[in-house]
A and B are shown apart, each in its own frame.
Chain A
Amino acid sequence: NAGVMQNPRHLVRRRGQEARLRCSPMKGHSHVYWYRQLPEEGLKFMVYLQKENIIDESGMPKERFSAEFPKEGPSILRIQQVVRGDSAAYFCASSPPLTETQYFGPGTRLLVL
């Protein structure tokens, strides 16, 4: 059973560009969480999605950030008009039912120049 997959692993963008991060959950998992890890800090929750639904987006910045988890295909975290402060590692985790263990992907390291 393949683990959680994220791509790209590294992404470089210039200020003002868009960043699109993809996450494919483990087989059989229908719950996806996104976390952000700023340099020298712990992970911070951003958003929790189930297929075609955003369940909890309390950790998402109010502007420029959006997430989706369509019926088919990976979950996407989209950052519009990136700024240098968006440089971070973005991790996706998936789980089966709600209170089961979350399994993390390897992360996407975003660098904004």
Chain B
Amino acid sequence: GDSVTQMEGPVTLSEEAFLTINCTYTATGYPSLFWYVQYPGEGLQLLLKATKADDKGSNKGFEATYRKETTSFHLEKGSVQVSDSAVYFCALRRDGSGNTGKLIFGQGTTLQVKP
């Protein structure tokens, strides 16, 4: 079945460091891919998405490129801030007829940014 695998956390970085959180997926066809962020005690917020191969999603300095050849959607940011500390979830959604739009999530990666 479909699945999403993320790198294990926690990831601890100093402010202004470069961030990469790895995400790979297993799915038939061409799913849409998402990154969601969850701040402590809150629900998930959509960070960025990509709906087809080679698309790049970007938002708030974060980027991720849909790589079909490596079935990956790694999240990157050039310079993290303390306020980026949160849990990041990679997810996929199979689209098209017969699919109900449910999201399949990875286990989440906790990011801690220290000043």
Binding site for B on A (CB under 8 A): 4, 6, 31, 33, 35, 41-45, 48, 55-56, 59, 91, 93, 95, 98-99, 101-107
Please, could you name 17 A-B residue pairs with CB atoms under 8 Å apart, sorted by A? A33-B103, A35-B103, A42-B108, A48-B102, A56-B100, A59-B102, A91-B44, A93-B44, A98-B101, A99-B32, A99-B95, A101-B46, A101-B49, A104-B44, A105-B43, A106-B43, A107-B43
Q: Give the residues in chain A near B93, CB-CB below 8 Å.
A: 99
The 5 lowest CB-CB distance pairs between A and B, nearest first, are A42-B105, A56-B100, A104-B43, A45-B102, A104-B44
Interface residues of B, CB < 8 Å — how many? 22
What is the count of residue pairs linking A and B with beta-carbon distances less than 8 angstroms? 58
The verdict on B13 contacting chain A, using a C-beta distance below 8 Å, is no
Q: Give the residues in chain B near A44, CB-CB below 8 Å.
A: 105
Report Cα–Cα, A41/B95, bound state, in Å.
25
